[in-house]
Amino acid sequence: MVNSTAFPSRAFGSSVNVQGKKGKKQQAKASTIEDKDFDLEQEVLEDDLFGETTSFESVSSSPPASKALIKDPLFSQKAEDFRKLLDLNVLNQGKNPAQGRWRNLVLSAGSREELEECIGLAETFKSRVGSLVAKSSDAFANRACFLGYPELALNTFLDRYRFGLDVTPLSLHLIQTHLAMKLASPDEQVILASQQLPGSPVPATDLFQDSSAINATEGGENQAEEGEKGSPGTEVKQFSEEEKRILVARLSIIDRMSLASNLAPTVSGLHDTYLLSFVCRSMIKTFGLDAKESRAVQLPAGIKARVQQLVDHLAVGADWQTEEIRSAKRKASDASSSPTHSQRQERSKPALSLGSSPDLSALKIAKLCTNLTNVLRYVAIHLGEQRGKVGAGSPLEKVGKDHLRIFYSYLDLIAPYQKTAAVVEKTEMLLKELASESKA
């Protein structure tokens, strides 16, 4: 498993200025290339790929219709030209190629093969010149996701020392959302094809094994077995071989999403709450655990334990982040009893910064609310009876708070009041419905 701690700083490759008239021409040409780069965050916002108007369930295996894919007939020539610039004889003369050339090559890629050629050139650039800058990482993630291959982007970032591409908040946001969109595809061939792409994680355990084969060693597993004991006479759901084949492919995508959440550098050593919320929602939706009818379905203990562990980890991370935000607010309040205008503006910003662009932060917070809505439905349906209680051995035992209290407090800090109130109201209404049905 990839460690979630922050990566060490890297040395960026930099272009070497060549003196003289020829050098000035090269600098002007490089400048023109750099000018062709676009603002990737603005592209994301204009496409509205992840906003309220685009559902995870309305995904296609092809690029968005709003941007018809036009293959660049000169891609092969551009790739060959860049490869010549990486020749050792050229580099030994102090003529390092501008990174803008590689970014523009990436943005003209129109197939998996062309993306893989760009990855190979990035590896050569890393070994002979140095690492690529964050802007190049964003460009690569943007294009790979646009073409329908977020898996390739993730696999490249996982081997940063080989390819010289570091993950950024924007690139992780792109990868995680596009993996979630692919997971929700109605086309099973899209799901199965994802499993065949490089870097598919190998599951450590069989989640479909019988409950008798699982040794309950963790709190989440104990809770899962207790849930099974609470439904005597209900047989564990059996999946056909074809159903298992599709579910294993879906779980492969979810495992990739788990790797992406581990890539996010965090000072606490905990998972990134925003990225992990996608993993939790995906597991819950895959097995229909946000539906009231799921209480009558007995899933294999391995699946129930996995979901419970993910929700527990999400709750622990959300609680830690809540305390950090509150602590930062207290420090800011104590710093000055009469804040200046600039300090008041700073305090009015969202408590949780999820991107360098305010609009992108708002977009992420909206998606986080969507993810937590499904998580809270799961909590209400399967853990509602434990409200106000923390089971022995649970990761929340040290926190001393139940899931509902943690997620409510977290939403109250990061999201606008209207969104938080709507999510809480829906959850409380569901809890009342479930309580009345139990009494009936």
- DSSP state string for 136-179: HHHHHHHHHHHTT-HHHHHHHHHTHHHH-----HHHHHHHHHHH
Contact 59, 184 (CB under 8 A): yes
- What value does the mean pLDDT take over residues 194-222? 65
Confidence at residue 264, expressed as pLDDT on a 0 to 100 scale: 83
Can you give the pTM of this predicted structure?
Answer: 0.78
The DSSP symbol for 395 reads: T
Angle between helix axes 241-263 and 273-286 (nearest 10 degrees) is: 170
- Report the range of poorest mean pLDDT among 64-78, 120-134, 384-398: 64-78
- What value does the mean pLDDT take over residues 49-54? 36
Give the list of residues 6+ apart from residue 289 with CB closer than 8 angstroms, or none: 283, 299, 307, 378, 381, 382
Count CA atoms closer than 13 A to 217's CA, side-chain side. 3
- What value does the mean pLDDT take over residues 269-291? 90
Does the pLDDT of residue 38 top 50, yes or no? no
Does the pLDDT of residue 188 top 90, yes or no? yes
Does the pLDDT of residue 389 top 70, yes or no? yes
Confidence at residue 195, expressed as pLDDT on a 0 to 100 scale: 93
Return the structure tokens found at 173: 């946001």
Q: Which amino acid is at 395?
A: P
- What value does the mean pLDDT take over residues 333-356? 54
Phi, psi angles (nearest 5°) of residue 298? -100, 100
Give me the residues paired with residue 12 across strands. 131
Give the list of residues 6+ apart from residue 180 with CB closer than 8 angstroms, or none: 56, 257, 278, 281, 282
Burial class (CB in 10 A: 0-12, 13-18, 19+), 368: buried
* Cβ neighbour number for residue 178 with a 10 Å cutoff: 23
Give me the residues paired with residue 78 across strands. none
Confidence at residue 323, expressed as pLDDT on a 0 to 100 scale: 87
In whole angstroms, give the CA distance from residue 186 to residue 408. 32
Higher pLDDT, 136 or 48: 136
Taking all residues of the chain, what is their mean pLDDT, rounded to a whole number? Answer: 77
- What value does the mean pLDDT take over residues 4-10? 32
- Which of 229-238, 324-333, 422-431 has the highest average model confidence (pLDDT)? 422-431
